[in-house]
A and B are shown apart, each in its own frame.
Chain A
């Protein structure tokens, strides 16, 4: 039975101390986005979602087949809760709006002057009825819903602006396409409430649900088949939704879940920015960086396909290696430059998620491992139990003290201080269990000339001899089951689960565990859940 806390009172208490329950990264206990009155079981409020940079990039790719990448020059999206698709913080500054306007113009001009034109302008645009058809087709795909006749008439008026200036129909098309691409119906994913002042939840319409699904699985717009499914009402029942999820997961665009969900949850993306100290690690280079990044993506891919259940994430008998990575890990494989799936023996020092080079590297400092960072990552991302950060003035370790012993010795001295101990007793043992892996993920038996001791004890008293035993303990932790659900739910909806929604998470976690814990099933459980299929209005007073 998973342990859950959805009492607001409990949560407030939990925020304060280091009892390892739910920390500042956990669900909001008193947030206005919880259900009305905080009723358990009520769905949280969904704020209108602006396409983030990745979603914009993918959407114009799928809509137009463009060769341009206007999103590359957009400002970075602000990140909250570890993800860059959180609707509440996806704002639009005047600069961002201006860049949208420029992008719309660039994309329209490209579309009308290249081979892309033939796919969009499929009849003679000098004929008004043809333009109707072009606009209906393009706008309904861009806005991800059927258009109204009035909307098409209004787009024709943009053509008239150019014609009245004595310019040709081509210019008119350009203006209409610019309008379509700058429209709030394109930039945002509006979901409408018949009664915006009602906080009663209601089902999304078919197209809104199709968009939620496609941005969840593909970080992009629906394709024709998904639009068809919406149009024919096939998303209204569980079977139809599940069938679409299966179809969509088999599409290459489902790689988005690797790049964007796993890319942020497992911090693969962070590897791009990480710069190990070249003096300490002269062997670090771009080829190693790329290989590590690919390893983690391919590793996660096995889970995404359902080949390996999620409850084995921390203890696997496989990974993906090429020659470079095998040599770096000290594993005797004869592989080429391409990464290949390899079977690991129980005696190999690699055994799953926690021994992936990418994760070990990004949770280190440029010069050394950071057991604290590694421990915090495990608590936060695998157990959803973030401890509060340290009080001011006590962070960090003296660099020159390193010769007096191992990092373990230093951290133990540090934990002798009771104000540090209450939290570091939670984090440090988890990180110290991975001390056999240096700051770029290579295996080592010695650190600073001292033998590595990776043994430890979790806060509950369970002892482990090394990282592998520790991984087994974490994987058995009941918090791990629900944490995976919470992270994917957060990503799927682009918002924090409201405290009133924890019963949904609990139900999903139970069904997931009972079903065999394969990730595609979790995706289906979330996609068919009530919070995913419904929404509600919000009132000013609820703030």
Chain B
């Protein structure tokens, strides 16, 4: 076991199985419950640099379509997914260059980023609209997870702050929600407060102590605010929100799932994605949260994938210039990304909930910041919507919303409206939406 010696959170559970091994058996999900007693849940899954569309788009539409080469890994659960083509995200179009920043910041916001290194201005993301409505039901309102913390230095994209290229969840116009890339942190978030050795009395006392400390810093914050100018007060608001959310969490029931052993970060990307996928399943299954965003890489990631024979960087390949060897490398990377999604979906589908499964009660949105990596287009986005979310979607189809690929199809914000509705969140409009998306 690694980590700080004095952290109580690490003294959980004893010799449980490592995350990734079968560890779900003892958890919730007994078949005794009716399906509708299980909540709707959401994962938004981001991959960088677009897709090699020639190998992504299935050639037929409707329900009897053949999976394309990149989508092959989804064969075991083809009946649980929708492949959506032709959707556009025009607000993500940057001012001049900066498509990765524009596309990533607009990924879930359908908002237009203010091009600046310091004046951050965007919009709330759809996962946060949902979390604002349903987040109070769970201990964690929403989780932000990723694999890459971000390059250690250098610019991010064409005069856009890295805030735009590393975050897809936005609590407000100005506040990105930073993600954790540390499996141990995700684990502790899910299991915090679940110390099986603590008596009720001890747990109550710990809560009192935490509350007292939060009250204390809240008082300090209020006093400090009186002596600060406008921008500094805005900064302090973020801190106050942190206090508020933690206070709320203390009021909620802690232990839902039995804890297992904390996973470690070996630095291996394949291992890390698998662990993060497992932890996301665990978080939803345990109802620690109902809203998760995941970034498999940051905007314009230039990670190389030697284990796929792709030794140059992903972003370099994505500017393929129509070159077949670049296409081959891209297809290998894209297929691997879809494999990771497929693993997640299959794990979710293995979790029984009532007469259904976790996947059937959830929706997983998978896409990228752009369409083709060379053309940097913000239309015909590569989208998979997986899970039926309690019957909201008629899965098992490929739908093309705009066969003319030089035309902007319906706003992806329309899909977001439909996805919100499937979560029970009624919203008149969102971003540049024109109404809920049809045919789903």
Interface residues, chain A, with chain B CB atoms under 8 Å away: 23-25, 28, 31-33, 45, 47-48, 50, 68, 70, 72-73, 75-76, 78-84, 86-89, 91-102, 104-106, 109-110, 113, 154, 157-158, 161-162, 165, 167, 175, 178-179, 182-185, 187-188, 190, 192-194, 196-197, 263-265, 267-270, 272-273, 275, 277-280, 362, 365-367, 380, 386, 388-393, 395-400, 495-496, 536-540, 542-543
Contact = CB atoms under 8 A, between A and B. Distances in A.
Given A78-B161, A93-B144, A47 B232 contact: yes
Interface string B188-220: 110000000000000001001110111011011
B151 interface: yes
A79 B167 CA distance: 12
Given A24-B159, A278-B311, A399-B325, A392 B153 contact: no
Nearest to B117: A80
Nearest to B6: A109
Given A75-B180, A101-B210, A106-B6, A392 B232 contact: no
Which secondary structure dominates chain A's binding surface?
loop
Contact of A81 (B118, B181, B249): B118
B304 A366 contact: yes
B229 A366 contact: no
B216 A267 contact: no
10 contacts: A75-B181, A81-B117, A93-B238, A94-B177, A106-B4, A110-B6, A165-B208, A187-B239, A190-B228, A269-B153
B189 A98 contact: yes
B6 A113 contact: yes
A76 B151 CA distance: 10
Given A88-B120, A192-B227, A264 B152 contact: yes
Contact of A31 (B4, B119, B144): B119
Contact of B153 (A183, A193, A267, A366): A267
A24 B115 CA distance: 9
Given A76-B150, A91-B176, A280-B311, A538 B99 contact: no
B312 A175 contact: no
A366 B315 CA distance: 11
Interface of B: 4-9, 96-99, 115-120, 141, 143-144, 149-156, 158-159, 161-163, 166-167, 171, 175-182, 184-185, 188-189, 205, 208-210, 212-214, 216-217, 219-221, 224, 227-232, 235-236, 238-239, 241-243, 245-246, 249, 304, 306, 311-313, 316, 319-321, 323, 325-326, 374-376
Nearest to B316: A365
A539 B230 contact: yes
Contacts of B175: 91, 93
Contacts of A264: 152-154
A400 B153 contact: no
Contact of B166 (A45, A78, A106, A397): A78
Most buried by A among B141, B150, B162, B313: B162
A92 B326 CA distance: 40
A332 B117 CA distance: 45
B32 to A, nearest CB: 34
A499 B217 CA distance: 37
Contacts of A110: 4-6
A275 B4 contact: no
Identify the 9 closest CB pairs spanning chains A and B, nearest first: A97-B242, A24-B159, A396-B319, A76-B149, A269-B152, A537-B229, A75-B178, A264-B153, A277-B311
A388 B96 contact: yes
B182 A88 contact: no
A93 B177 contact: yes
A524 B154 CA distance: 26
A196 B228 contact: yes
Contact of A496 (B118, B208, B232, B304): B118
Contacts of B8: 105
Contacts of A80: 117-118, 156, 161-163
Given A79-B150, A193-B227, 6 more contacts: A75-B180, A79-B154, A99-B185, A183-B220, A263-B153, A537-B230
Contacts of A391: 97
B219 A154 contact: yes
B320 to A, nearest CB: 8
Contact of A365 (B96, B179, B243, B313): B313
A72 B182 CA distance: 9
B212 A175 contact: yes
A267 B154 CA distance: 7
Contacts of A272: 152
Contacts of B229: 45, 193, 196-197, 536-539
A407 to B, nearest CB: 14
B161 A392 contact: no
B198 to A, nearest CB: 14
Contacts of B6: 68, 106, 109-110, 113
A75 B184 CA distance: 12
Most buried by A among B118, B208, B245: B118
A399 B326 contact: yes
B150 A94 contact: no
Contact of A399 (B180, B213, B323): B323
A111 B231 CA distance: 35
Given A96-B242, A187-B239, A264-B153, A277 B213 contact: no
Contacts of B213: 101, 104, 158, 175, 178-179, 182
B224 A190 contact: yes
A178 B217 CA distance: 10
A34 to B, nearest CB: 12
A338 to B, nearest CB: 25
Most buried by A among B149, B167, B176, B220: B220
Nearest to A79: B162
B235 A50 contact: yes
A340 B376 CA distance: 47
B228 A48 contact: yes
B154 A184 contact: no
A170 to B, nearest CB: 13
B153 A76 contact: no
Contact of B155 (A82, A165, A400): A82
Nearest to B243: A97
B7 A393 contact: no
B125 to A, nearest CB: 13
A184 B176 contact: no
Contact of A82 (B154, B189, B374): B154
Contacts of A93: 144, 171, 175-178, 238, 242
Nearest to A275: B304
Contacts of A392: 97, 99, 375-376
B228 A193 contact: yes
Given A75-B178, A81-B118, A393-B375, A94 B216 contact: no
B311 A75 contact: no
Given A183-B217, A396-B319, A538-B232, A75 B189 contact: no
A105 B220 CA distance: 18
A210 B175 CA distance: 30
A398 B208 contact: no
A184 B246 contact: no
Nearest to B206: A105
A469 B356 CA distance: 72
Given A101-B210, A161-B208, A182-B217, A78 B178 contact: yes
Contacts of A87: 235
Given A81-B118, A109-B6, A263-B153, A92 B163 contact: no
B239 A98 contact: no
Contact of A184 (B7, B163, B239, B311): B239
Contacts of A92: 238-239, 241-242
